[in-house]
Amino acid sequence: MHRIKHVVRMASSSSTNATIASRHTQYSHAKTGGFSQEAPTLHNPYRDDPILDRVLRRLLPESQYVKVSADLTKFGDRITSEIEHLGRQAELEQPRLEHQDAWGKRIDKLVVCNEWQKLKHICAEEGVISIGYENDVDPFVRRIHQVAKLFLFSPSAGLVSCPMAMTDGAVKTLTSLNLYGKHKLATEAVDRLRSRDPTSAWTSGQWMTEKKGGSDVAGGCDTYAVQIENDTYRLNGYKWFSSAIDADVALTLARIVDSDGNAVEGSRGLSLFLLRIRDDNGNLNGIQMVRLKNKLGTKQLPTAELLLDGAIAERIGEPGRGVAGISNMLNITRIHNAVASLGYMRRIISLARDYSTKRVVFGQTQSKWPLHTTTLAKMEVETRGSMLLLFESARLLGLSEAGKSSDVDAMMLRLITPVLKLYAGKQAVPLVSEGIECFGGQGYMEDTGLPTILRDAQVTPIWEGTTNVLSLDVLRVFSGKENILLAFGKRVSQLLSNTKSEEPKLQKSKESIESALKELQKLLVKASDSAVQGETRIDTVARHISFAIARIYSGALLIDHASDSTVANQSDIEVAYRYCCEQPLIDLRWEWFANERVKSDRAIVFDNYLGLQKSKI
What is the contact surface with ligand UCC in residues (CB under 6 A)?
161-162, 165-166, 206, 208-209, 215, 217-218, 241, 243, 267, 323-324, 327, 330-331, 333, 336-337, 340, 463-465, 469, 473, 476
> How many whole angstroms separate alpha carbon 320 and alpha carbon 265?
10
Nearest to 495 by CA among 578, 438, 588, 412: 412
Least distance to ligand UCC from the beta carbon of 543, Å? 15
| Alpha carbon separation from 85 to 88, 132, 352, 456 (Å, rounded) | 5, 26, 19, 17
Least distance to ligand UCC from the beta carbon of 463, Å? 5
Specify the DSSP class assigned to residue 449: S
Least distance to ligand UCC from the beta carbon of 456, Å? 7
> How many whole angstroms separate alpha carbon 577 and alpha carbon 385?
11
Strand partners, 111: 96
Least distance to ligand UCC from the beta carbon of 108, Å? 20
Nearer to ligand UCC, 40 or 465 (CB): 465
Give the up-direction half-sphere exposure of residue 190: CA atoms within 13 A in the CB hemisphere. Answer: 19
How many C-beta atoms lie closer than 10 Å to residue 180's C-beta? 15
DSSP characters for 10-39?
Answer: HHHH-S-HHHHHHHHHHHHHHHHT---PPP
Residue nearest to ligand UCC (CB): 267
Least distance to ligand UCC from the beta carbon of 127, Å? 18
Nearer to ligand UCC, 161 or 563 (CB): 161
> How many whole angstroms separate alpha carbon 499 and alpha carbon 610?
57
Nearer to ligand UCC, 218 or 226 (CB): 218
Nearer to ligand UCC, 269 or 443 (CB): 269
Least distance to ligand UCC from the beta carbon of 12, Å? 59
Amino acid at 46: Y
Nearer to ligand UCC, 24 or 476 (CB): 476
DSSP characters for 378-446?
Answer: HHHHHHHHHHHHHHHHHHHHHHHHTT---HHHHHHHHHHHHHHHHHHHHHHHHHHHHHHHTTGGGGG-G
Nearer to ligand UCC, 210 or 560 (CB): 210
Least distance to ligand UCC from the beta carbon of 328, Å? 8
Nearest to 222 by CA among 286, 259, 266: 266
Least distance to ligand UCC from the beta carbon of 208, Å? 5
Nearer to ligand UCC, 207 or 224 (CB): 207
DSSP characters for 217-276?
Answer: TTTT---EEEEEETTEEEEEEEEEEEE-TT-SEEEEEEEEB-TTS-B--SGGGEEEEEEE
Least distance to ligand UCC from the beta carbon of 451, Å? 16
- Residues in the chain, overall count: 617
Nearer to ligand UCC, 23 or 295 (CB): 295
> How many whole angstroms separate alpha carbon 340 and alpha carbon 358?
27
| Alpha carbon separation from 603 to 555, 592, 599 (Å, rounded) | 37, 15, 6
> How many whole angstroms separate alpha carbon 554 and alpha carbon 572?
13
Nearer to ligand UCC, 217 or 496 (CB): 217
Nearer to ligand UCC, 143 or 336 (CB): 336
> How many whole angstroms separate alpha carbon 416 and alpha carbon 550?
8
Least distance to ligand UCC from the beta carbon of 362, Å? 38
Nearer to ligand UCC, 267 or 365 (CB): 267
DSSP characters for 458-500?
Answer: TTTTTTTS-HHHHHHHHHHHHTSSS-HHHHHHHHHHHHHTT--
> How many whole angstroms separate alpha carbon 440 and alpha carbon 459?
23
Nearer to ligand UCC, 226 or 469 (CB): 469
> How many whole angstroms separate alpha carbon 525 and alpha carbon 551?
19
Least distance to ligand UCC from the beta carbon of 84, Å? 16
Least distance to ligand UCC from the beta carbon of 241, Å? 6
